[in-house]
A and B are shown apart, each in its own frame.
Chain A
Amino acid sequence: MWLTRPFYERSTQLFLGILFAALLVVTVLHVALPEGHPLHVTSYTVTLFGKYLCYALLAVAVDLVWGYLGILSLGHGAFFALGGYAMGMYLMRQIGDRGTYGDPILPDFMVFLNWQELPWYWLGFDMAWFAFIMVLLAPGLLALVFGFLAFRSRVTGVYLSIITQALTFALMLAFFRNEMGFGGNNGLTDFKDILGFNLRTDATRLGLFLATGVALAIGYVVCRAIVTSKLGRVSVACRDAEARTRFLGYRVERVQLFVFVVSAMLAGVAGALYVPQVGIINPSEFSPIFSIEIVVWVALGGRATLYGAVIGAILVNYAKTVFTGVMPDAWLFALGALFVLVTVFLPQGIAGLLKSRHTAKEAAA
């Protein structure tokens, strides 16, 4: 069975091992150790790590299309945000009449911009199952339509990158509009609880953190399964010699579409897990800058390795947390320099370094 294939390869075993070990360590340090103990992990840090893991999953999604399919998407932030909004809408509906105006149905921002009733596209989001399906479907559909148009007419390479950027930019402008009914610039916030658990308790936060970890594991395995399958090899074929692949009888545009949609859905899941942990979703997640940043996480970690993407995402964001605290001004310089140095001197990324060290060892042995 193709889905189980990854479990037999060492790299995946290693990755999952480390991941779950990390989850365990954090949980133990958080629960077992008393507040104030030097090694105690506060709920603040747990949420922080949770956020990193969301980004990691997002990076994996991007690496799937960029690394293995050669499609540099500068619009993956859009799928991430869409997943986030789907989740956000569910959380908004969960507030019910606990909003400041006590309106049982309308979210606060609709009340004070005196909307009369709920827009049709908000219907159903009070049901968790529906919302969670939308988390996959919303980004999936967008990716499907967009991808279908783009790949069918063989828009590739730079052109594709630029119109994906246009896509996310257009969406950002759209979501900024208050008429859209997604809370405009303020977005969705002030969530109360998810699936009945109060979002403001440490237990829930830990839960979300672990859920994110598991999601990352699943996402990783799925991607692994795809890239190790024959389809994965076809994707690489499309990446390296598109025309050739066509002459072998493969429908390149469909391969691209399939992988693109899967990746978009993964991004959506990442977004959905991100929102309850940071407590807000607003159009700035659509900003092209963010999408480009994601790509750089992957580039730093090393494309076409998946685990590289995870490393990159966590590393960059951890650095960000530290820097913005210590020397805010320097941060942008650092980030900018990172972009340049990685692309010029480290095309293989960190994973590349690890690999070469590994192979060197083998040679020595």
Chain B
Amino acid sequence: MSITRLLTSLLFVIAMAFTPLAAAQQEDPGVALLNDLATASPREVEAAIKAIANSGDERARSWLEAFGSNRLSIIKDSGKIVVVLNNRGRDWTIADALTSENLGEISRRKLDRININNAMRRQLEGTLAMLDLYADNPDLQAQAGKDLLGKVDEALVEPLTEFLAQDRPRAVTNRVEQALAIYRVEQLGDIEAVDVLAGSLHSRARAALNSAVTSDDPALAGKARIALESVEQKLKLNRAAETLYFGLSLGSVLVLAAIGLAITFGVMGVINMAHGELIMLGAYTTWGMQQLLPGQPGLALILSIPAGFLVAALAGVAIERSVIQFLKGRPLETLLATFGISLILQQLVRTVISPLNRTVITPEWMSGSLIINDALSLTLNRLYVLAFALLVFAALMLIMRKTRLGLEVRAVTQNRAMARSMGIRATRVDVMTFALGSGVAGLAGVALSQLTNVGPNLGQNYIIDSFMVVVFGGVGNLWGTLVAGLTLGTLNQLLEPWAGAVLAKIVVLVFIILFIQKRPRGLFPQKGRAAEG
């Protein structure tokens, strides 16, 4: 927020908090404030924070934020207090905390950090939230109100009641009331406050009520219990919705990972064991992109969608030309050869890039979650992946149904010899198909880089699942893959709560094995004499 707005908001703080410091404005008061903070014992820190907040100094906020992100340090010999601008590596860039002039690099050895721990951070967040409440930016205010939940202590009670006195947007005051109510219920065992919290789905509010239930005041306990039961039903619904979402999102991951395989395997009967590594390539492309465009993870991510596709597709073509074309009609051999390739690709990544996992940054707009209500929120990154998966699927469907390539591909799947005789260049189709399948794998990699490790083993973790999905869905049938993926995902997530993660996975695998016994050709088998034998 701009300095002016900060100032206006600070005025209120000054108005209500009586502070000798604010009055006496001789030489820079920051020195004293910061030194207090630096030397404060854990017990005194709170006071020091409040002092800074109430000092009305326009630098207060930046100091507190620096403190919060653990970037306030003291230069050992000079005792000067500085803000660390870049704390990577062994030499850190610092700036003067008071004048905020850049002091260049300095060895870590020469710095003493002013440490903060979670307890302090809570108070800090409370205080900062107080400041934000007065920002005339509704979102900020709402957020601040939310942050205050469970962070209210008696120091804040008075200012907050003040705050409520003035007329403010409902959204904000609701929160503040709740925040106060939580404080009252927890600290004072105030029965009236329970009404305020009744009906709230927010975990913090329920936490307060839960603790009230166990209190020795029967009246309070009873009231709290009723308040809790009133939301029980809502919660159940939300939980169900949540589980469903989890299932779909896991399913979408499976679909993404498998759909490329569905194409290569389904159309060409090629068991591409290197499929996982193609996914890995996609993920590494994302990482590479972010290295090329430092500071713009979002843009990099978007660019790596086409890039990942290309890289994987080219790799696919290379594999097809160099190995698979020699193994026509020998699916089991392709399985072995491609497995060899997967080993090579993995080791290549290990030696060329690093055996360690790579950091792929999640852009702002993809982190956090979409809040439906206090009890139900959908994690954004998975939401995007889900959407992406459906998008990719739709695109593939289009290609298969509407384009010349798709037509030829289907022709080749149905009856290779016949298609050939009708002048379709089967080899070309093969290359194109394989490239397409591989490219899609690359896309899966790009998506996965937002969910899991980007490392040499990335592919290994998905290859078996992918095969399961394809076989379960029915080879050569994209719809099958979609349905299978989503089904297995949901099944897994439904089982997990009571079976545990490991058992759930096992159960799903066994289920697939048995299913294949019943329907050897999966959910949507290809019928007719062509498929026989």
Contact = CB atoms under 8 A, between A and B. Distances in A.
A85 interface: no
B321 to A, nearest CB: 12
A200 to B, nearest CB: 35
B346 to A, nearest CB: 7
A149 to B, nearest CB: 4
B345 to A, nearest CB: 8
A149 B327 CA distance: 30
Contacts of A159: 471, 516, 520
B237 interface: no
A338 B340 contact: yes
A150 B342 CA distance: 28
Contact of B509 (A166, A332, A340): A166
B244 interface: no
Contacts of A165: 464, 467
Interface stretch (A129-137, A167-175, A213-221, A229-237): A167-175
Contacts of B346: 332
Contact of A299 (B336, B342, B348, B468): B336
Given A149-B514, A159-B516, A161-B332, A332 B271 contact: no
Nearest to A165: B464
B518 A153 contact: yes
A344 interface: yes
- Report whether over half of chain A's contact residues are helix, strand or loop; otherwise say mixed: helix
Contacts of A344: 323, 326-327, 337
A332 B341 CA distance: 10
Interface residues of A, number: 43
A292 B336 contact: yes
Contacts of A154: 520
Nearest to B270: A158
Interface stretch (B32-40, B298-306, B398-406, B499-507): B499-507
A169 B509 CA distance: 8
A343 B327 contact: yes
A166 B331 contact: no
B219 interface: no
Given A149-B517, A159-B520, A333 B509 contact: no
Contacts of B502: 173, 176-177
A72 interface: yes
B247 interface: no
Nearest to B463: A288
B344 A337 contact: yes
Interface string B22-63: 000000000000000000000000000000000000000000
Contacts of A296: 336, 339-340
Most chain A CB within a 10 A radius of its CB, from B326, B340, B506, B517: B340
B186 to A, nearest CB: 38
A344 B327 CA distance: 7
Contacts of A329: 347, 350-351
A184 to B, nearest CB: 11
Interface string A85-101: 00000000000000000
Contacts of B341: 336, 339-340
Given A340-B337, A344-B327, A158 B269 contact: yes
Contacts of A243: 533
Contact of B468 (A152, A166, A174): A166
Contact of B506 (A163, A170, A333, A343): A170
Given A158-B269, A173-B506, A343-B327, A335 B340 contact: yes
B517 A340 contact: no
A157 interface: yes
B513 A163 contact: yes
Most chain A CB within a 10 A radius of its CB, from B334, B341, B343: B343
B96 interface: no
A336 B513 contact: no
A162 interface: yes
A332 B513 contact: no
B510 interface: yes
Contact of A339 (B336, B467, B512): B336
Interface residues of B, number: 42
A167 B342 CA distance: 21
A238 to B, nearest CB: 13
Contacts of A336: 340-344, 347
A176 B334 CA distance: 30
A337 B348 CA distance: 12
A28 interface: no
B335 interface: yes
A163 B516 contact: yes
Nearest to A299: B336
Nearest to A149: B517
Contact of A170 (B327, B471, B510): B510
Contacts of B332: 72, 157-158, 161
Contact of A158 (B271, B323, B503): B271
Contact of A343 (B336, B347, B509, B514): B336
Contacts of B344: 332-333, 336-337, 340
B112 interface: no
Contacts of B327: 343-344
A154 B503 CA distance: 28
A153 B513 contact: no
B333 interface: yes
B340 A339 contact: yes
A288 B273 CA distance: 12
B347 A339 contact: no
A155 interface: yes
B503 A177 contact: yes
Contacts of A295: 336
Contacts of B520: 153-155, 159
A347 interface: yes
A146 B514 CA distance: 9
Nearest to B521: A159
A148 to B, nearest CB: 9
A339 B510 contact: no
B340 A340 contact: yes
Nearest to B271: A158
A170 B509 contact: yes
A105 to B, nearest CB: 27
A53 B128 CA distance: 71
Interface in B341-400: 341-344, 346-348, 350-351
A344 B334 CA distance: 9
23 contacts: A150-B517, A153-B520, A155-B517, A158-B271, A159-B516, A162-B271, A162-B471, A166-B512, A173-B505, A176-B502, A177-B502, A288-B464, A296-B336, A296-B339, A332-B344, A333-B347, A333-B348, A336-B340, A336-B341, A336-B342, A336-B347, A337-B340, A338-B340
Interface of B: 269, 271, 273, 323, 326-327, 331-337, 339-344, 346-348, 350-351, 464, 467-468, 471, 502-503, 505-506, 509-510, 512-514, 516-518, 520, 533
Given A163-B471, A169-B509, A344-B327, 8 more contacts: A158-B331, A161-B335, A163-B513, A167-B513, A329-B351, A332-B343, A340-B337, A343-B333
* A-B pairs, 4 with minimum CB distance: A339-B340, A336-B343, A336-B344, A332-B347
